[in-house]
């Protein structure tokens, strides 16, 4: 088992390196450069040249690459222009928010997807199965940003201003304006209240995908010989399904969850944008638009790194669940 893990971790390192390289060179060949942000019209060529050399932009590409790589390894991600703070600072502020959002969404969609998928498979050919199939496919085909807007429309905008419901959900941000004045219980409630719509928007689409996959995985497993053996032993059907079938059906779903992580982060970008959630997704979009290169490079790399780590975790989970991997 530990050999398997060691191999995986060792494999991840060149991957991360490759990604960092990819990021650097994509940004390097782009027109314009970090200095453009600071260059005002009317500056003399001398000043421009000095600004450029300040950022080391007059040095050869490879040298810059090596320097940047070295800096990254020591934790120096550079300075963000658009925020006026070191990049590490910016990341430290925004990353937890994104992790909160995507973490909740991942857990909820995994649990929800597994449960729904298993339910569908257990009741194959029934009405529940057909109805769920349609509904899930519907959500699976939905762009998350549109779902977010529609949910906002119903539960925030219309609920409050048109239908005058007693309860509605907030449109933006992580906390209310009077957050500081709330007690601990109030703060937790306030955070939860703000977390609902973004999480739900992100979760629904992912759940649909996982449920579909889980369903087909369960149907595949239930047809296997060892399920027939379990029944022949006299086990109650519930045990057959939830103990024997489920564990086997979960195995491919776990790998799927690993593949879903990049999608999750992509979706997070939209959700954060729509709900003005102060997270990495929104930060990176703003940074790209503002040509804030250091921030862009650092956040892109970070995103990819999180994906790699997520896949690693999925691999670990995979080995835990499937003894065939553990014992080679």
Partner 1 sequence: MADETIGRRTPILERLLSAVAPGLPQLLAGRWGGGLAALSVWVWFLWLVLTRPGRVVAASAGTGEQRIAVATVVAGLVVAWAWSWRDLQARAAGASAGFGGWRATLDSFSRNRSARLGLLVVLLLGLVALVAPLLAPFDPLRPGELLTERMVGPSAVHLMGTDQSARDVLSRLLYGARISLGIGVLAVGIAVTLGTLLGAVAGYVGGWVDVATMRLVDMVIAFPRLVLLITVVALFQSSVVLIVVVLGLTLWPSTARIVRAEVLGVREREFVQAARALGYSRRRIILRHVVPNVLAPVIVAATLGIGDTIVLEAGLSFLGQGIQPPTPSWGTMVADGRNNLLGAWWLSTFPGFAIVITVLSFNLVGDGLRDALDPRHRP
Partner 2 sequence: MTAGPESHLLEVTDLRTWFDTERGLVRAVDGVSFHVDSSETLGIVGESGCGKTVTSLSMLGLVGGKGRIVEGSSIRLRGEELVSASPERMRSVRGNEISMIFQEPAASLNPVFSVGEQIAEVLALHRGMDRAAARAEAVRRLEEVGIADPGMRVDDYPHQLSGGMSQRVMIAMALACEPALLVADEPTTALDMTVQAQILQLLRALKAKREMAMILITHDLAVVAEICDRVAVMYAGRIVETGAVSAVFRHPAHPYTRALLEALPSGGNVGPSDGEGLGDGRLRAIPGTVPEPTAWPDGCRFRPRCPLAFATCVHEPELIPLPGAGRTARCWLAQPWGDFEGEGLA
Task: Please report, as residue ranges, which positions from 249 to 308 form the binding site for partner 2 (by CB under 8 A).
Answer: 251
Give the residue with the Cβ less far from partner 1, 14 or 323.
14
Is residue 175 near partner 1 by the rule CB under 8 A? no
18 binds, among partner 2, partner 1, none (CB under 5 to 8 A by kind): partner 1
Choose the contact partner of 152 out of partner 1, partner 2, none; CB within 5 to 8 A by kind: partner 1
Binder among 122, 132, 206, 230 for partner 2 (CB under 8 A): 230
Decide if residue 70 touches partner 1 (CB under 8 A): no
Q: Does 316 bind partner 1 (CB under 8 A)?
A: no
Residue among 88 and 263 whose Cβ is closer to partner 1? 263
Residue 46 in the binding site for partner 2 (CB under 8 A): no
Q: Is 256 in the site for partner 1 (CB under 8 A)?
A: no
| Binding test (CB under 8 A) with partner 2, winner from 33, 129, 220, 322 | 322
48, 149, 227, 321: residue in contact with partner 1 (rule CB under 8 A): 149
- When asked if residue 311 is in the footprint of partner 1 (CB under 8 A), the reply is yes
Concatenate the DSSP letters of all residues of 42-64 into one string: T--HHHHHHHHHHTTTTS-HHHH
Interacting partner of 65 out of partner 1, partner 2, none (Cβ under 5 to 8 A depending on kind): none
In whole angstroms, the minimum distance from the beta carbon of 133 to partner 2 comes to: 20
* Residue whose CB is less far from partner 1, 44 or 279: 279
| Contact partner at residue 141 from partner 1, partner 2, none, CB < 5 to 8 Å by partner kind | partner 1
Q: Which residues are CB-contacts of 258 (< 8 A; sequence separation ≥ 6)?
A: 310, 311, 313, 314, 315
Nearer Cβ to partner 1, position 14 or 236?
14
308 part of the interface to partner 1, by CB under 8 A: yes
By CB under 8 A, is residue 232 in contact with partner 2? Answer: yes
57 binds partner 1 (CB under 8 A): no
- Please give the backbone phi and psi of residue 182, each rounded to the nearest 5 degrees, phi first: -85, 155
Q: Which is nearer to partner 1, 137 or 189 (CB)?
A: 137
Q: Interface with partner 2 by CB under 8 A: which residues? A: 224-226, 228-236, 244, 247-248, 251, 321-324, 327
């Amino acid at each position: 088992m530990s050999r398997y893990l060691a191999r995986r971790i060792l494999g991840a390192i060149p991957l991360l390196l490759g990604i960092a390289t990819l990021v650097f060179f994509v940004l390097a060949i782009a027109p314009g450069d970090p200095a453009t942000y600071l260059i005002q019209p009317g500056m003399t060529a001398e000043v421009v040249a000095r600004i450029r050399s300040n950022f080391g932009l007059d040095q050869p590409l490879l040298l810059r690459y090596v320097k940047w790589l070295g800096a990254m390894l020591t934790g120096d991600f550079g300075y963000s222009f658009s925020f006026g703070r070191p990049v590490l600072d910016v990341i430290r502020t925004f990353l937890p928010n994104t992790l909160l959002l995507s973490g909740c969404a991942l857990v909820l969609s995994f649990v929800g997807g597994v449960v729904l998928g298993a339910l569908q498979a257990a009741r194959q050919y029934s009405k529940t199965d057909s109805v769920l199939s349609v509904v899930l496919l519907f959500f699976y085909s939905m762009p998350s940003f549109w779902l977010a807007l529609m949910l906002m429309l119903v539960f925030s905008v219309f609920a409050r201003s048109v239908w005058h419901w007693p309860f509605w959900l907030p449109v933006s941000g992580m906390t209310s304006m009077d957050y500081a004045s709330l007690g601990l219980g109030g703060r937790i409630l306030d955070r939860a209240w703000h977390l609902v719509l973004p999480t739900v928007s992100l979760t629904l689409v992912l759940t649909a995908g996982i449920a579909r996959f889980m369903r087909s995985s369960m149907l595949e497993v239930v047809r296997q010989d060892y399920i027939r053996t379990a029944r022949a032993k006299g086990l109650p059907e519930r045990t057959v399904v939830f103990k024997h079938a489920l564990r086997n059906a979960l195995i491919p779903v776990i790998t799927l969850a690993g593949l879903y992580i990049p999608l999750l982060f992509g979706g997070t970008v939209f959700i954060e944008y729509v709900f003005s959630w102060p997270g990495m997704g929104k930060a990176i979009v703003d940074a790209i638009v503002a040509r804030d290169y250091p921030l862009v490079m650092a956040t892109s790399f970070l995103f990819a790194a999180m994906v790699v780590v997520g896949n690693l975790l999925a691999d670990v989970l995979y080995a835990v669940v499937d003894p065939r991997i553990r014992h080679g």
